Amino acid sequence: MYICICKGIRESDVQELGKAGVTCPKKLASALELNDKKNCCGRCIKNISKFVALAEEEYSCSNSPVLG
């Protein structure tokens, strides 16, 4: 599912960054090039907390011990 139309960012893109340990708002914004005012409307940077939550969720899942 796309979460940024301007940049063509999908949930899976943010999840992959989360798996790699990128969960800091500034690092996410940089990795996803959300500070590009010429090619981005700015909505995503205003809602960066949603990206952080998605990345942190994936990070915690990828670092959890497997049960069973």
Domain ranges in the chain are 2-62
| Predicted TM-score (pTM) of this structure | 0.83
Local confidence band at 45 (pLDDT 50, 70, 90 cut-offs): confident
**Which residues on neighbouring strands pair with residue 2, listed in sequence order?**
10
Four-way CATH pick for 2-62: 3.40.50, 1.10.8, 1.10.10, 1.10.3470: 1.10.10
pLDDT digits (tens, 9 = 90+) for 13-41: 999 999 999 999 999 999 999 887 788 88
